Structure 1
Amino acid sequence: MDDLQAWQYIATALIFVWTGFVRSGLGFGGAALGLPLLLLVVDDALIWLPLIGIHLLFFSSITVSSRIHAVNWPYLKKALGIMIIPMLIGVFGLLTLPPEWVVVFVYLTTLFYAFCYLFKFQIRGGNPWVDNTLLISGAYAAGVSLIGAPLIVAVFARHVTIEQLRNTLFVLWFILVVIKLSVLLWAGIDFWWFHHLWLLPCAALGHIVGLKLHERLMAGDSATFKQIIGGALVLICIVGLLR
């Protein structure tokens, strides 16, 4: 991060604006829709995940602090009991797998999400077995690269009311990211603390815009929005995999 070229710093700033917008606008997906772009700037997930994680902790705590009453705590506790172990397995996979394997995992997983968005295929839970499979898969993906949100949201959306969904998800992300970052800190991964000074304002700009558009997106524009970014993500993932 300390020896990037000018275009890489500019691209990083714009991408963090985007991740802040997606995170607050949809309530999920900041990492899933931002990490593939960041890997085009520097193809090492361990550089970006601490930065994304700290931002998620910061903005999720701000968003939920005044809405803590609108969290579905019973279902959150139940889901966490299913997700903790695969989440930890994913984190240790991030630390032990070759970096290029992690990059390919990110692009292939994101490519799956992109096709779902592009063709308006909605990932759905259906019964306890399907729900548990999605939660376990999402938790593992979150452990490896923080991109398990679409799988997890598919289950939470069936069990949590729309009024409580975003706040419940933000608390879930907060807990999972605290666990992930604790392991990375223990492993001695560089958190690039200085770079938060200029990246946090970028993410804050996107966060504010996302908050203003959240109600509109949830009211019916989200499908078209996801379809557009799905098409863009397909191109991004193909470019990333070819590299």
Structure 2
Amino acid sequence: MSDLSAVQYVLIGLIFVWSGFVRSGLGFGGAVLSLPFLLLVHDNPLAFLPIIAIQLLVFSGLTIVMNNRKSQAARQPQGGTVDWRYLGRILAIMIVPKLIGVFGLVTLPPTIMSTIIFGIVTVYSISYLLDRPFRSRNRVVDVVFLMLGGYVSGTSLIGAPLVIAVVAQHLPKEKLRDTLFALWFILVTIKMAAFIAVGVDLELKQQLWLLPCAAVGHVIGLRFHDYMLKAETPVFFRVLGAVLLVVSCIGLWKGLA
């Protein structure tokens, strides 16, 4: 990214502030809500995916550690901010599709993949906006969504909408974000290992200025998340639905474009 203009650098910095805010505020969306805008500035996914992955590892790890220390200091009985038992269950479902996506063992047409994913996400987002969250009483459907989310995260790091559509049904909002952070940390570690194995440039020099940009958004997002936890549950899920709807619209727009 050494040949970009000053305007492009400013726009990229602002987008990474947005990325940090979304990630810490909701626990997901840092990649899927920023990558489409980044590609409008510089059309090279591999220039941004390693940067996003490293930032996710840094900030998700820090947030989990800090929040669990606060929980222990306050002697809260919930057992921390991560539901490790549920995390193990969904990882067991997602890990094989994740590896398939990482190593490119199965390649589906991107148009079909995008249409399926964002069509499903649109249904979920509208149900949250209407304060009538869709509750799948069929475990098979949940497993399919998690497997598809694992595959997509393996190919492009944007499988969060499918995963959150399932996980948000089964976790209390107090544990939702940090459990997702723990999940992303594990999945992104696998993706980073693949980047290193094939010799992808990790853009470490760019992190010197983009990491502080993401840190600014991260701090703002932490405060936003605290506000969301104090809000009524319908408000929380309406915001969640609005974000999911934005995600699906961006995804469908890019797919059609």
For this structure pair, what is the TM-score category when the shorter chain's length is used for normalisation? 0.7 to 0.9
CA contact (8 A) 2:31 2:157 kept: yes
Cα distance, 1:80 vs structure 2? 0.8
- 1:182-201 to 2 correspondence within 5 Å? 182-201=193-212
Pairing 1:51–2:62 present:
no
Q: Report the counterpart of residue 2 of structure 1 in structure 2.
A: 2
CA contact (8 A) 1:19 1:203 kept: yes
Partners in 1 of 2:240 and 2:206 — Cα distance? 30
Q: Unaligned regions of 5+ residues in structure 1, if any?
A: none
Cα distance, 1:7 vs structure 2? 2.1
Please tell me the residue identity of whatever aligns with 2:151.
Y
Please tell me the residue identity of whatever aligns with 1:26.
L
- 1:1-243 to 2 correspondence within 5 Å? 1-68=1-68, 69-93=80-104, 109=117, 113=121, 117=125, 120=129, 122=133, 124-218=135-229, 219-220=231-232, 221-225=235-239, 236-237=250-251, 240-241=254-255
Listed one character per residue, the Cα deviations across residues 128-154 of structure 1 (whole Å, up to 9, x for unaligned) are 211111110111111111111121122
Corresponding residue SS for 1:30: coil
Going from structure 1 to structure 2, the CA distance change for 1:168 and 1:238 (only over 3 Å counts) comes to closer
Q: Which has the larger radius of gyration?
A: 2
CA contact (8 A) 2:35 2:48 kept: yes
CA contact (8 A) 1:90 1:141 kept: yes
Cα distance, 1:33 vs structure 2? 1.1
Higher normalized helix content (fraction of residues): 1
Partners in 2 of 1:242 and 1:153 — Cα distance? 24
RMSD: 3.0
Going from structure 1 to structure 2, the CA distance change for 1:80 and 1:231 (only over 3 Å counts) comes to closer
Partners in 2 of 1:111 and 1:238 — Cα distance? 8
Q: Unaligned regions of 5+ residues in structure 2, if any?
A: 69-79
Going from structure 1 to structure 2, the CA distance change for 1:230 and 1:27 (only over 3 Å counts) comes to closer
Cα distance, 1:61 vs structure 2? 0.8
Listed one character per residue, the Cα deviations across residues 134-181 of structure 1 (whole Å, up to 9, x for unaligned) are 110111111111111121122222333322222111111100000111
TM-score of the two chains, using structure 2 as the length reference: 0.80
| Percent pairwise identity | 45
Cα distance, 1:238 vs structure 2? 6.5
Q: Report the counterpart of residue 74 of structure 2 in structure 1.
A: none
Deviates more, 1:175-184 or 1:69-78: 69-78
Partners in 2 of 1:186 and 1:192 — Cα distance? 15
User: How many residues were matched structurally?
Assistant: 240
TM-score of the two chains, using structure 1 as the length reference: 0.84
Partners in 2 of 1:131 and 1:208 — Cα distance? 33
CA contact (8 A) 2:126 2:245 kept: yes
CA contact (8 A) 1:115 1:230 kept: no
Please tell me the residue identity of whatever aligns with 1:179.
I
Cα distance, 1:11 vs structure 2? 1.2
Partners in 2 of 1:165 and 1:226 — Cα distance? 12
CA contact (8 A) 2:121 2:162 kept: no
CA contact (8 A) 2:81 2:174 kept: yes
